[in-house]
Structure 1
Amino acid sequence: MQEKLERRSFIFTLLLVTVAFGLLLKPFFTAIFWACAVALIFHPSYRFLLQRFPKWPNLTALVTLLLCMVVVIIPVLLVASSFISEVANLYQKVQSGEINLGAKVEQVRAAFPGVNAALERFGLDFDNIKERLLGGLMTAGSLIAKNALALGQNTLNFFVSLGLMLYLTFFLIRDGNALVALLIRALPLGDEREKLLLAKFAEVTRATIKGNLVVAVTQGALGGLIFWVLGLPAPLLWGVVMTILSLLPAVGAAIIWFPAGLYLYATGETVKATVLMVYGVAVISLVDNILRPILVGRDTKLPDYIVLFSTVGGLLMFGISGFAIGPLLAALFMAFWEIFMREFISGTEPLLPSPDKSPLDALEKRNSEQDSV
């Protein structure tokens, strides 16, 4: 009796301390998540270097971290700063009346007189839609401008978080396999299930960031490039917006370049409009079909409707990091239910990584096999 009471008291205290420690780390959740994600993505580079310099794990981890900074972090910071500056500048022009969005919408309306008739058939009023659209654009511009000001005021906090992320990334790159083995030993879910769940975590994180983000950035860069070539305003701004929208299935970059093409037709820029439309269909839209199977792989892809809802929900709940966290939570949700159905309902064994290898190593082998195919 005494032993059972002590055991339960210890478990309760353990849970209490764990929750308290989780609350302690809550302000650094974003930095911790991105440190884990970056370590997973650049783990192959670390292993490649470590095979050639096995006696210098610290140096190889540091070189891998510097590679990450040069390839990812510095370019992202440069683009983000330029994007925020361009948004703030455009918002000021709209507020001052230098850019009249209402007049541009009316110009499109006059060029396509059939739009009014089509909307009236569905009981919609063009003027009401225009007011809501302009109001939404102004609200979005105001929000981005305010966030840009807040970011400028909290630059120190941002760089502190960035520094903590890079610091943690170094240790996760160097000690990743050991930490995974320790986590598998500590969790009480059963080693085989834990290997499956950790492998799914690594798989979906890489697929979302390495695959979906690369596809989105490529589509956004191609969209921004054609806007710049055609002399359209704010090509960097619209390129970044197309990148964000490309993360969402059933939305994509077409929600930007297609209306832009219609506007060019409405203003008499027929050649530019045709070039933009053909380029959007033949180049931007095909990037997803070509790159995604190569970078993501067919086995790791969630259904489009799951990706859409989990991405939007993640963005609403976690901010910009939600585009990766949302699909990850959805994948873990599906993995848990898969384990439950196979082991507790149908009684079949789940597909698990090899027990003598860590999930990272199992995933490395699986990705290399997909690449060779």
Structure 2
Amino acid sequence: MFNNDRLLVQILLLGLLGASLWVLAPFWSALFWAAVLSFASWPLMRTLTRWLKGRQAAAAALLTAGWTVLVAVPLVMLGFNLADHVREATALIKNLQVAGLPPPPSWLEGVPFVGERLLGLWQTIDQQGAAFFDTVRPYLGQVGNWLLARSAQVGGGMLELALSLILVFFFYRDGPRLAAFVHSLLERLIGGRAEHYLELIAGTVQRVVNGVIGTAAAQALLAYIGFMIAGVPGALLLGLMTFACSLIMVPPLIWGPAVLWLFWQGEVGMAVFLAVWGFLVISGVDNILKPYLISRGGNLPLVVVLLGVFGGILAFGFMGLFLGPTVLAVAYSLLSDWVAGKAPPAEPASEEQVR
């Protein structure tokens, strides 16, 4: 006989689950990054807890402080640096409107093939500065609005990063209980294969994190070498900032302004070298090293990993870097299990076929 009380309880539970998801919706991104960061560094958390004689809360606080110094501080410095550059660019445009362009740099005429044209363009803009700025003023307004919108997004990202670093402490502290809860939930849903899929998800996320951090470290080292060769001041700090920008997949935010600075200083040869080094080496290593590190040690085909990485970024943004390979890995494993379980046994060949 149909149990109305049980149906009512199930409906209430579903409603409660939906309401809980609605409440947590504004924090999904922060929860996701906190979970990924704590999961990827859990071996370090275990080691630190053992060194502190089982004091898990102290180990969680110490490791969270370490992540704050390593990730948050360089990103905050980058944000202030960008804000300073925006203010300087705004002041420069206002000065150019009043006083016109300064004298052309001595190296401009010596640029191969196009030096004379660039010098003539410089003089034309200087002579017709008012008309030129009247022409570009509407576009400057659009650029200003775009920069304002991007600044708001950067500010929101900083708040999200701060919330992630707060949440990661609780993931560290309560990690074993959360892991046991997830394991029990999966066992209830899929039975004995829960352990297999937990290991699959864990391995995929771990390889992706290794690929992201390993690639960022390689790009930071290569950027430091390039800055040293080109003679850019503050090469070590710029290398650390390149590491932070590599985590969000925008290392040109660091080496690009360095190239422009070298051009402005008249170091044309070094500027060209750093531009080629940045484009082909610093940014180019991302397309080779990251897929290799992510696919290394797994039993997934490389094409599945590549599609998961790039397709995930296009579909979900930066979170897709982790979600894409994980979703495809689970789907590939599910399909493989289904095909293996449903495939009919091979029929033995008859005597006539053998003959």
| TM norm. shorter chain > 0.5 | yes
2:37 partner SS: helix
In the alignment, which residue of structure 2 is the partner of 1:304? 306
Tell me the equivalent position of 1:271: 269
**Displacement, 1:182?**
1.1
- State whether residues 72 and 161 of structure 2, in contact with CA within 8 Å, keep that contact through their aligned partners in structure 1: no
- Alpha-carbon displacement from aligned partner over 1:108-150 (angstroms, at most 9, x marks no partner): 99739xxxxxxxxxxxxxxxxxxxxxx9998676423344267
Count residues with an aligned counterpart: 309
Change in Cα spacing, 1:246 to 1:183, as seen in structure 2 (3 Å) is closer
Gaps of 5+ in 1: 113-134, 316-322, 350-373
CA distance in 1, matches of 2:312, 2:139: 23
- Give the Cα–Cα distance (whole angstroms) in 1 for the partners of residues 246 and 61 of structure 2: 34
2:341 corresponds, among 327, 347, 350, to 347
Q: Rg larger in 1 or in 2? A: 2
Match of 2:211 in 1: 211
1:58 matches 2:61? no
Q: Which moved more, 1:298-307 or 1:280-289?
A: 280-289
Give the deviation of 1:311 after TM superposition: 1.1
Which of 313, 316, 321 is matched with 1:314 structurally?
316
1:328 is matched with which residue: 308, 322, 336?
322
RCO comparison, higher one (Cα < 8 Å, 6+): 1
Question: What is the SS of the residue equivalent to 1:55?
Answer: coil
The whole-number CA distance in structure 1 between the counterparts of 2:226 and 2:83 is 21
Counterparts of 1:351-370 in structure 2, within 5 Å, are none
Instruction: Look up the match of 2:189.
Output: 189
- For 1:211, the aligned partner's letter is G
Specify whether residues 52 and 217 from structure 1 end up closer, same or farther in structure 2 by C-alpha distance, changes over 3 A only.
closer
**Higher mean Cα deviation, 187-196 or 330-339?**
187-196
CA distance in 2, matches of 1:337, 1:171: 30
Once the 2 structures are TM-superposed, how far is the Cα of residue 181 of structure 1 from its aligned partner? 1.5
**More off after superposition, 222-231 vs 271-280:** 222-231
> In 2 relative to 1, CA 343–295 (structure 1 residues): closer, same or farther, beyond 3 Å?
closer
**Counterparts of 2:295 and 2:140 in 1: how far apart (Å)?**
36
| Structure 1 match to 2:46 | 47
Instruction: Specify the code of the residue in structure 2 equivalent to 1:346.
Output: A
CA distance in 2 between counterparts of 1:280 and 1:204 reads: 29
Please give the alpha-carbon distance, in whole angstroms, between the structure 1 residues aligned to 2:196 and 2:80.
Answer: 39
Deviation of 1:2 (Å): 3.6
**CA distance in 2: counterparts of 1:53 and 1:237, whole angstroms:** 35
Matches within 5 A, 1:51-90: 51-87=50-86, 89-90=88-89
What residue in structure 1 maps to residue 348 of structure 2? Answer: none
| Structure 2 residue aligned with 1:143 | 146
Please tell me whether the aligned partners of residues 91 and 145 of structure 1 are also in contact (alpha carbons under 8 angstroms).
Answer: no
Identity score, percent: 24
One-letter amino acid matched to 2:296: R
Shift of residue 25, structure 1, vs aligned partner: 0.8
| CA RMSD in angstroms, aligned pairs only | 5.1
1:83-102 maps to which residues of 2 (within 5 A)?
83-87=82-86, 89-90=88-89, 93=92
Q: 1:245 to 1:203 in 2, by over 3 A?
A: same
Q: Which runs of 5+ in 2 are unaligned?
A: 116-137, 344-355
- Partner secondary structure for residue 346 of structure 1: helix
| DSSP-derived class of the 2:189 partner | coil
Aligned residue type for 2:321: P
Q: Deviations over 1:248-288 (max 9, x none)?
A: 7xx9869x86xx69x96xx9966225533664478536754
Whether the 8 Å contact between 2:74 and 2:240 is mirrored in structure 1 is: no
Q: How does 1:125-164 map to 2 (within 5 A)?
A: 142-148=145-151, 164=163
Q: Secondary structure, in 3 states, of the residue corresponding to 1:189? A: helix
